[in-house]
């Protein structure tokens, strides 16, 4: 009888831990974050082009980040398997083009992709396995062509624009209000760094953002050339 009660207690503890783990890994939507390479590179810290050469003059993917409606995001998502480049070998050339690393020292991108998978992707593994995760992000970039959307509104690299005009151009094209993140160039001026759009938990469609991140831009920001 004591043995039986003891095993019930152990099972309850295990169940509690499992429920806590599931809760800590739950998410409500993704942020799909694209980055302007010109704004990554012209900061004080500068950048290094990938070993494959200077990336295209286009927004690059930073990541697809599981998030919750209350603004928090999952953490401690332990991988069943670590990042495995061989699982995405069919996507590698697209990744080099659309998800370029700009970190120094110069590298082929594996470290950046592995970081994004381990820090963010793994938290959505119940929905998207590693291959699906990267393929989904690449597909979303095709759906949300930011450079074209800005160009259609007369907003091109090498100028300064109102934050509002950038917001409006993306909203018109994507159908939903984006979040604009700024960073500062080496002289301390605010510039267009990253654009966030929200995506449903299956990664298949853009949605209205349930919550926006925090951050500061000025009302007029630079869109530096690359």
Residues with a catalytic annotation lie at 62, 116, 120
Stretch that binds ligand AMP, among 10-18, 89-97, 99-107, 201-209 (CB under 6 A): 99-107
101 scored as a contact of ligand AMP (CB under 6 A) = yes
Q: Are 196 and 178 in contact (CB under 8 A)?
A: yes
Give the helix/strand (H/E) hosting 35. strand 29-35
d(Cα 32, Cα 122) in Å, to the nearest integer? 15
Q: Residue 123 burial (CB < 10 Å; 0-12/13-18/19+)?
A: buried
Compute how many other C-beta atoms are within 10 angstroms of the C-beta atom of residue 202: 12
Single out the residue of 34, 39, 67, 130 in contact with ligand AMP (rule: CB under 6 A): 67
Stretch that binds ligand AMP, among 112-120, 157-165, 201-209, 216-224 (CB under 6 A): 112-120
Query: Could you tell me the smallest distance in angstroms from the CB atom of residue 198 to ligand AMP?
Result: 11
184 scored as a contact of ligand AMP (CB under 6 A) = no
d(Cα 122, Cα 5) in Å, to the nearest integer? 36
Single out the residue of 32, 36, 112, 226 in contact with ligand AMP (rule: CB under 6 A): 112
Where does this chain bind ligand AMP (CB under 6 A)?
Answer: 31, 35, 40, 60, 62-63, 65-67, 73, 101-103, 112, 116, 119-120, 213
């Amino acid at each position: 009888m004591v043995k039986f009660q003891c095993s019930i207690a152990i099972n309850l503890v295990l169940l509690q831990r499992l429920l806590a783990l599931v809760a800590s890994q739950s998410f409500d939507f993704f942020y799909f974050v694209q980055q302007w390479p010109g704004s990554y590179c012209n900061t004080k810290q500068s950048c290094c082009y990938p070993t494959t050469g200077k990336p295209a003059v286009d927004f690059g993917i930073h990541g697809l980040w599981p998030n919750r409606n209350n603004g928090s995001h999952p953490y401690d998502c332990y991988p069943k398997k670590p990042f495995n480049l061989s699982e995405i070998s069919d996507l590698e050339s697209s990744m080099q083009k659309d998800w370029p690393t700009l970190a120094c020292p110069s590298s082929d991108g594996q470290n950046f992709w592995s970081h994004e998978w381990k820090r963010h992707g793994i938290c959505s593994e119940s929905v998207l396995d590693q291959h699906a995760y990267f393929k989904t992000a690449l597909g979303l970039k095709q759906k949300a062509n930011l450079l074209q959307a800005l160009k259609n509104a007369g907003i091109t690299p090498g100028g300064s624009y109102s934050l509002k005009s950038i917001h409006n151009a993306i909203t018109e094209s994507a159908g939903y209000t984006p979040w604009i993140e700024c960073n500062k160039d080496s002289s301390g001026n605010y510039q267009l760094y990253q654009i966030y759009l929200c995506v449903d938990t299956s990664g298949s469609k853009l949605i209205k953002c349930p919550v926006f991140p925090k951050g500061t831009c000025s009302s007029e920001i630079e869109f530096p050339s690359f």
